[in-house]
């Protein structure tokens, strides 16, 4: 739908979202090491259970040594790649397997900690790495279910029934799969929304730069107009005062023609800021604002009609709206989408009354598939993903328009085509200024 839709624009940002700071994983491991050390010493010395203290403390010491090396070998802001972070967590799973195997296997209540590395992976790593870590957790849980030292009971040993141990194994396996699937789904939605909002912010900044450029050009043309007018008067006087046989006559004519050319250029620059008043973007009637948003998207062979439908009788006059980047870019994205999917005609109807301002965009295209229509306006929803679109255009338009107080709804036409209805409360639209600080929703 727009330049912002192209996947290359955000490929790096989306990939980088799965990278995690090494210092974060180091901190999590220090917490695990502290808990393991306290638990082992407490059970061995305070509860007087006989544990293989040397073997257990050796594993804890190895983890601490690896953490120290990682701390001093890399800077504080170093980020691990997806595969390296997965290996980092895989070591934690293997170390936990070693400790659990020497302390009762699945009979050890701390066996539930197998869920921790898998859950962390689901929140920060790719789906492939998370699935690989889940598989490792399931393999390790299965190993300690069969290969482990019994718990060192103080009195008569307690032997749990095999069926109960099977239930523990099933609970850990299903818990790992369910928790990681849930965490992955939630964090995946959060990542998608964060990336989409970043794209929206970039689109808004791009539109604002274009608008600011038009204002700057108009201001420059205004400031240069007075000295250029003086130059024009002086150059014409010089041309009139010089005789036809003067060697400078040709230079004077050239000067006059170049001054005229400069005035023409300044006129075009002034047109960039046409309609602007004391505000950075100025104000226009709603129909004029729609026309300004639609003009860049007119195509040969496509009829793009802006139809003004004033209220019947002595209704309210046409409301005005600021030339805000949010409105221009949002309306432009929606109209561009309709132009790309229509067969030959797009109609933009503008209507208003004392309470509402409505813009309705319809086209004669094939319409929207029901499976996509119910999700239209969410990020990364598109029927053109195979052709390179990311499905951000409608989301960006919806987000930007909602920032200005609009409500946007998507429908299919009665016979064909799509219909998009954008509605503002009239008092909200008329109260908007060209200053973005009056928005109460942030991207």
Q: Give the domain CATH number at 389.
A: 3.30.565.10
Judge if 259 and 144 occupy the same domain. Answer: no
Instruction: Give the Å distances, CA to CA, from 386 to 25, 289, 420.
Output: 37, 34, 24
The predicted structure's pLDDT at residue 206: 59
Residues 185, 53 share a domain? yes
What is the C-alpha separation between 360 and 383, in angstroms, rounded?
Answer: 22
Q: Kindly state whether residue 377 falls inside one of the protein's structural domains.
A: yes
Cβ–Cβ under 8 Å, residues 406 and 423: yes
Sign of the CA dihedral running 38, 40, 41, 44: positive
Per cent of the chain over pLDDT 90 is 18
* Dist CA 25 CA 81 (whole Å): 12
pLDDT of 275 strictly over 60:
no
Determine the pLDDT at residue 281: 44
What average pLDDT does range 156-182 have in this prediction? 84
Least confident interval from 42-46, 379-383, 437-441: 437-441
| Stretch 326-334: mean pLDDT | 85
H/E stretch holding 409 reads strand 407-412
* Pair (116, 192) in one structural domain: yes
Residues 16, 113 within the same domain: yes
User: Between the ranges 31-35, 154-158, 164-168, where is the mean pLDDT highest?
Assistant: 31-35
Task: Say whether both 49 and 141 belong to one domain.
Answer: yes
* 35 pLDDT above the threshold of 70: yes
Alpha carbons 376 and 87: distance in angstroms, whole number: 38
The model's pLDDT over 416-430, given as tens digits with 9 standing for 90+, comes to 888 999 999 998 888
pLDDT tens sequence across 63-114: 999 989 988 888 767 888 888 888 989 999 999 999 999 888 888 888 889 9
Q: Among 33-37, 110-114, 265-269, which is the least confidently predicted range?
A: 265-269
What mean pLDDT value characterizes the chain? 78
**If residue 423 lies in a helix (H) or strand (E), which one and from where to where?**
strand 418-425
Domain final position from 155, 178, 202: 202
pLDDT, greater one: 347 or 269: 347
Q: Given the structure tokens 């450029």, which residue do they identify?
A: 213
Residue 438 structure tokens: 């009056």
Domain check: are 308 and 163 in the same one? no
Question: What confidence tens digit (pLDDT) does each residue in 199-235 have?
Answer: 666 655 655 555 555 555 555 665 676 777 788 778 8
Measured CA to CA, the distance from residue 381 to residue 389 in angstroms comes to 9
Q: Name which of 30-34, 67-71, 283-287, 325-329 the model is least confident about.
A: 325-329
Residue 207 covered by a domain: no
Instruction: Give me the residues paired with residue 309 across strands.
Output: 351
Q: Which of 125-129, 171-175, 212-216, 291-295 has the lowest mean pLDDT?
A: 212-216
User: Residue 122 domain-assigned?
Assistant: yes
Region of 106 on the Ramachandran plot (φ > 0 left; ψ -120 to 50 alpha; else beta): alpha
For residue range 38-72, what is the model confidence (pLDDT) as tens digits? 988 988 888 777 888 889 999 999 999 998 998 88
Question: Would you list the DSSP string of 326-338?
Answer: HHHHHHHHHHHHH
Q: Give the helix/strand (H/E) hosting 41.
A: helix 22-41
User: Cβ neighbours of residue 238 under 8 Å, at least 6 residues apart?
Assistant: 252, 255
Query: Please, are residues 399 and 443 in contact by the beta-carbon 8 Å criterion?
Result: yes
Longest dimension (CA), the chain: 128
Report helix, strand or coil for 134.
helix
Q: When comparing pLDDT for 374 and 171, which is higher?
A: 171
Same domain, 218 and 263: yes
Report the 10 Å Cβ neighbour count for 25. Answer: 20
Kindly give, in sequence order, each residue whose CB lies less than 8 Å from that of residue 384, ignoring residues fewer than 6 positions away.
391
Residues 67 and 185 in one domain: yes
Question: Can you tell me the distance from the alpha carbon of 26 to that of 89, in angstroms, rounded to the nearest whole number?
Answer: 10
How many whole angstroms separate alpha carbon 207 and alpha carbon 443?
Answer: 15
Q: Which two structure tokens, joined as six digits, stand for 151?
A: 């718990």
Task: Please tell me whether residues 312 and 181 are part of one structural domain.
Answer: no
E-strand ranges in 64-142 read: 79-80
Mean pLDDT on 166-180: 89
Q: How confident is the model at residue 138 (pLDDT cuts 50, 70, 90)?
A: very high
Going by DSSP bridges, is the β-strand pair 303-309/345-352 parallel, antiparallel, or unpaired? parallel
Tell me how far apart the terminal alpha carbons of the chain are, to the nearest angstrom: 20
Over residues 360-380, the pLDDT tens digits come to 999 988 888 887 887 777 766
End residue of a domain, out of 202, 227, 247: 202
**Given this model, what pLDDT does residue 357 score?**
93
Residue 359 predicted with pLDDT over 80: yes
Reply yes or no on whether the pLDDT at 288 is more than 70: yes
In a shared domain, residues 133 and 255: no
pLDDT recorded at residue 5: 40
Same domain as 424, residue 364: yes
Q: What whole-number percentage of the chain has pLDDT above 70?
A: 76
Question: Could you give the C-alpha distances from 276 to 2, 64, 406, 413, in angstroms and in order?
Answer: 26, 65, 23, 37
pLDDT score of 277: 42
Interatomic CA distance for residues 110 and 98, integer angstroms: 12
In angstroms, rounded to a whole number, what is the distance separating the alpha carbons of residues 159 and 56?
23
Number of structural domains, the chain? 3
CA separation for the pair 31, 102 (Å, rounded)? 21
Q: Which residue has the higher pLDDT, 127 or 152?
A: 127
Confidence of residue 391 (pLDDT cuts 50, 70, 90): low
Q: What is the mean pLDDT of residues 380-385?
A: 61
């Amino acid at each position: 739908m727009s330049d912002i839709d192209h996947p290359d624009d955000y490929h790096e940002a989306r990939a980088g979202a799965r990278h995690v700071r090494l210092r974060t994983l180091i901190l999590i491991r220090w917490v695990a090491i502290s808990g393991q050390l306290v638990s082992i010493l407490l059970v061995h010395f305070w509860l007087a259970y006989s544990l293989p203290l040397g073997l257990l403390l050796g594993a804890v010491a190895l983890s601490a040594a690896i953490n120290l090396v990682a701390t001093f070998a890399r800077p504080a802001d170093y980020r691990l790649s997806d595969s390296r972070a997965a290996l980092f967590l895989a070591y934690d799973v293997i170390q936990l397997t070693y400790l659990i195997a020497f302390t009762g296997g699945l009979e050890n209540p701390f066996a539930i900690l197998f869920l921790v590395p898998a859950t962390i992976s689901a929140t920060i790593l790719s789906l492939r790495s998370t699935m690989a870590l889940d598989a490792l957790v399931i393999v390790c849980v299965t190993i300690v279910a069969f290969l482990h030292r019994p718990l060192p009971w103080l009195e008569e040993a307690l032997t749990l029934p095999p069926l109960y141990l099977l239930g523990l194994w099933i609970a850990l396996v299903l818990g790992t799969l369910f928790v990681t699937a849930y965490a992955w789904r939630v964090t995946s939605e959060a990542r998608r929304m964060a990336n989409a909002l970043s794209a929206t912010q970039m689109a808004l900044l791009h539109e604002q730069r274009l608008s600011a450029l038009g204002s700057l050009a108009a201001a420059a043309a205004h400031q240069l107009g007075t000295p250029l007018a003086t130059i024009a008067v002086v150059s014409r006087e010089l041309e009139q005062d010089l005789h036809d046989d003067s060697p400078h006559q040709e230079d004077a004519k050239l000067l006059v023609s170049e001054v005229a050319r400069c005035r023409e250029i300044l006129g075009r620059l002034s047109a960039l800021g046409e309609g602007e008043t004391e505000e950075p973007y100025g104000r226009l009637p709603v129909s004029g604002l729609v026309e300004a948003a639609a003009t860049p998207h007119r195509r040969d062979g496509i009829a793009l009609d802006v139809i003004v439908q004033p209220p019947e009788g002595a209704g309210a006059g046409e409301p005005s709206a600021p030339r805000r980047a949010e409105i221009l870019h949002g309306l432009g994205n929606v109209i561009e989408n309709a132009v790309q999917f229509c067969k030959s005609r797009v109609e933009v109807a503008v209507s208003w009354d004392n309470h509402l301002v409505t813009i309705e965009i319809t086209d004669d295209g094939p319409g929207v598939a029901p499976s996509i229509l119910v999700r239209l306006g969410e990020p990364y929803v598109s029927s053109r993903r195979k052709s390179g679109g990311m499905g951000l255009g409608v989301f960006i338009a919806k987000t930007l328009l909602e920032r200005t107080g609009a409500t946007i709804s998507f429908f299919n036409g009665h016979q064909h085509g799509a219909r998009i209805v954008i509605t503002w409360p009239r008092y909200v639209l008329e109260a908007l200024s060209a200053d973005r600080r009056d928005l109460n929703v942030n991207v």
